Structure 1
């Protein structure tokens, strides 16, 4: 087997460090294929040897990808074709996240061992023994796939029955405006990673969700799920099909008396984001951004506009319109991976965490400034702050920083908050109610519908603590195109390209 032993020992090392999986059956078959002796006197022996080496390289790469936590290659290619190619600077920055000096040094040491030991030991025998030692883990260590699949099927069956209903106010329209701030790339784990999890920003909100699941880790699916938030959670494969009208929040907002608006601080072209909004009943289209200050550039060098000035322009337009009640969906990519200040030199070489902290500080200041602007207007406003997904600043052993193919809890668990702005709330101490139960989008729409039905801006004021006890809970099921993570009996399980359930350890998640 000669230096093929390095391939297997390196993979076994990565497996024991939990960087990859290890399919015992396929790896054992591959090792046996490489150890089949080729007689010295067989005809065309040189061609056969060369052919086996060439085929072995192809199989080795394919098997390594199979054992990795990465999605199928076809999905990666499809993603790039549909989303567009980022700038070369961003690609450089992204690839550098995979570089781990300690791991590379240890793999180098394994190579040296295999090269030296090959002269004294029969490496093929050693490789086969090591692989076969994992067979008991394959037989006895795998979770009950059928039971987990039935649990997930039952979850989605139950979700199809859940719908948030709205009752139109007696006055014909709500007595407040509604602002939904959809923020790209912000999870609790990201704030912890940059030391901002205790930032006072969230103390100004009346309701704070600490166990909210965004379900997905990508912007397109996230906006679809939010804009269909009146209905229970759908499978990923179903979100691109038309849903019942009652599922679309902007349709129901219009039905109960809101005038709808859509505003972004970017052009919405990447990933056809603006198109996804339109497809999910987000009409009219996004507000014109001409003349607004550009504060950053995206990883594809498209402009990112200042959050405060973008929001304040919408507010000016809203006041001029004279509408009795308005609702806006606002999306910001200020925190998006690869974003950088306008004119920033060699941004791709900078400290990602330091840059992220700067962007997050700016975002918090802009949103707070906008809240103050709303407060000074004298109007009643409900502000909903909900991230799309996290940034994955830290990453984990199974997924490099910035990668989000596997929807792990540190990426999907985001801070969601709701603030009430009005005369009886402005300037008063906020008595925040924390919701720590597992929730998702249905919880947000449930609260909004109850505010529409019974306004929190009446003399009775904000509902009491029992109000949050009846908010709908949602079990943890997170899903992307080819990966699903579920929580069952306090354990997390992953379903990926292997089409089987794998239990994830806390070490693999964090």
Structure 2
């Protein structure tokens, strides 16, 4: 009597494999191999299981494929370093203000034709190999292996990589202000797990809340009047100057002090302006910038109490992104905008508004100060000719960054030379907002600053004391310790009585001794980048921390 045949469960008769989804995962593996993805291993494994689950009905199988298309696209976007929906929506109103030519330029930069070509080659190879090889099995095993490897820590790479610290993230010279360094140092001995990195960030912000610059209640009777001019340049970092070969420009020789390792803490203009105007307190999170703060935090308010008249100057309208309104609402800078009447336009901005001639604006400021009866002024001067998308008058094409930067450097050089000739006592502080991101990386293309990487936030800060009786040093005093906004406020508080201009000799080393140091933490709306154990780490949209890809 024959034995009845054992039948497989009905469900197991309907395995169909991944089909074209194999190519979807192969593309991801290739991008991950070269460090172009913030790959979410478990989420992709769940998606693969959803695609493999056998369905007895052919119609259900087709429906699943159609439903999976938007899911797959969304997951692919989630696995990239591209801005999330929240960031895009928050910037959507500003995108409407971009000129059509600038938007087309951004799209052209976004498309990587080499990657498209490589993807086409991979597709042909996949179609050829899949005739003989069960690719679904290989893809499934690969994704399982990635999940196992990923359990080891908050991030991983398929290939051994070089150190993730960008070469310009921090200069390597020895730090002379060891006392301040020890006082402000935070423990970084714990392993860089997501939990430890989050705890470190929280501790950083808690510590920063306790820091504040102390200004005198009144100036002494023998104080010397002088002016403070803060030149806030949009889109200039050490990396940009290196790429454009402008680190040896004569401009740098004017400065008495250069902060070599200054971190701007953000990649966008509005937050940069607010942070600078609130420089008298420790660094806050991005969200706290738009909340009320201690009155002692406002640098210009502190100066106004000591008799410095507040002034505001810009080479643009300040309308785009409500920039001027943010300075007033969140930076408490209420001074009227200095007149731009009669100033010629040098460029056209990315939003088709004029960018006024900075050489003429600076000369107007100097001429008016020479005629004014105001003994002391504090001027906030914001300028944007280096911003991405700026173009020559009458042109629709973005002008090359290097010629724009050289022209601006020449104008600043001329202004500082004329300032010396005038004999006027002025503390000039060149403080860029953020870099231009001339060099893109694996996380974001050139010009994109959604992620405040060290290449973007490591900016050159120079301080000059024009009109001093003391001779200037042959070379600027360089501060190599990690500094940020609080160091600027502290330095202003040290010279606010103006005696630095009357002294027969000024030792810049003593003047800059023990400046407040700040750990390198930068934040935009949806991204945080910080240095930990000598390497940059990034957290997007409140997710896990991963090592910044190199």
Question: Structure 2 vs 1, CA of residues 30 and 6 (structure 1 numbering), >3 Å: closer, same or farther?
Answer: same
* The structure with more radius of gyration: 2
Which 4+ runs in 1 deviate beyond 6 A? Answer: none
Partner of residue 141, structure 2: 129
- 1:437 corresponds to 2:449: no
Partner of residue 158, structure 1: 207
Cα deviations by residue, 1:173-206 (Å, 9 ceiling, x for unpaired)? 6521111000000000011111222223212100
**Deviation of residue 376 (structure 1)?**
2.5
Q: Would the aligned equivalents of 1:84 and 1:271 in 2 still touch at CA under 8 Å?
A: no
Q: Which moved more, 1:182-191 or 1:115-124?
A: 115-124
Q: Would the aligned equivalents of 1:211 and 1:413 in 2 still touch at CA under 8 Å?
A: yes
**Deviation of residue 98 (structure 1)?**
2.4
**Deviation of residue 310 (structure 1)?**
1.2
- 1:61 corresponds to 2:106: no
Partner of residue 384, structure 1: 429
2:456 pairs, out of 407, 411, 434, with: 411
Q: How does 1:36-47 map to 2 (within 5 A)?
A: 36-39=53-56, 42=57, 45-46=58-59
Question: Structure 2 vs 1, CA of residues 439 and 118 (structure 1 numbering), >3 Å: closer, same or farther?
Answer: same
Partner of residue 30, structure 1: 47
| Distance in 1 between residues matched to 2:507 and 2:489, nearest whole Å | 16
| Distance in 2 between residues matched to 1:87 and 1:122, nearest whole Å | 50
**Deviation of residue 300 (structure 1)?**
0.9
Partner of residue 521, structure 2: 477
| Distance in 1 between residues matched to 2:511 and 2:419, nearest whole Å | 25
Secondary structure of 2:489's aligned partner? helix
Partner of residue 320, structure 1: 371
- 1:292 corresponds to 2:343: yes
Cα deviations by residue, 1:87-136 (Å, 9 ceiling, x for unpaired)? 11111111222233332222111111222222222221111011111123
Secondary structure of 1:416's aligned partner? strand
**Deviation of residue 83 (structure 1)?**
6.1
| Distance in 1 between residues matched to 2:340 and 2:543, nearest whole Å | 45
| Distance in 2 between residues matched to 1:124 and 1:361, nearest whole Å | 55
**Deviation of residue 64 (structure 1)?**
0.7
Q: Would the aligned equivalents of 1:173 and 1:324 in 2 still touch at CA under 8 Å?
A: no
| Distance in 1 between residues matched to 2:84 and 2:113, nearest whole Å | 27
Q: How many residues align?
A: 494
**Deviation of residue 425 (structure 1)?**
5.5
| Distance in 1 between residues matched to 2:295 and 2:245, nearest whole Å | 42
| Distance in 2 between residues matched to 1:209 and 1:481, nearest whole Å | 26
Cα deviations by residue, 1:419-448 (Å, 9 ceiling, x for unpaired)? 01115257x553410001100011111111
Superposition RMSD in Å: 1.7
1:358 pairs, out of 403, 409, 417, with: 403
Secondary structure of 1:415's aligned partner? strand
Partner of residue 101, structure 1: 113
Partner of residue 347, structure 1: 397
Partner of residue 208, structure 1: 258
TM-score by length of structure 1 reads: 0.93
Q: Would the aligned equivalents of 1:456 and 1:463 in 2 still touch at CA under 8 Å?
A: no
- 1:337 corresponds to 2:388: yes
Q: Which moved more, 1:145-154 or 1:368-377?
A: 368-377
Secondary structure of 1:116's aligned partner? helix
| Distance in 2 between residues matched to 1:487 and 1:308, nearest whole Å | 37
Q: Would the aligned equivalents of 1:179 and 1:381 in 2 still touch at CA under 8 Å?
A: yes
**Deviation of residue 82 (structure 1)?**
5.0
Secondary structure of 2:431's aligned partner? strand
| Distance in 2 between residues matched to 1:83 and 1:384, nearest whole Å | 32
- 1:7 corresponds to 2:56: no
Question: Structure 2 vs 1, CA of residues 185 and 464 (structure 1 numbering), >3 Å: closer, same or farther?
Answer: closer
Q: Would the aligned equivalents of 1:205 and 1:430 in 2 still touch at CA under 8 Å?
A: no
Q: How does 1:463-474 map to 2 (within 5 A)?
A: 463-474=507-518
Q: Would the aligned equivalents of 2:257 and 2:508 in 1 still touch at CA under 8 Å?
A: no
Q: Would the aligned equivalents of 1:335 and 1:360 in 2 still touch at CA under 8 Å?
A: yes
Partner of residue 80, structure 1: 92
Partner of residue 219, structure 1: 269
| Distance in 1 between residues matched to 2:247 and 2:141, nearest whole Å | 48
Q: Would the aligned equivalents of 1:164 and 1:449 in 2 still touch at CA under 8 Å?
A: yes
Partner of residue 10, structure 2: none
| Distance in 1 between residues matched to 2:107 and 2:470, nearest whole Å | 48
- 1:305 corresponds to 2:349: no
Q: Would the aligned equivalents of 2:526 and 2:542 in 1 still touch at CA under 8 Å?
A: no
| Distance in 1 between residues matched to 2:483 and 2:234, nearest whole Å | 19
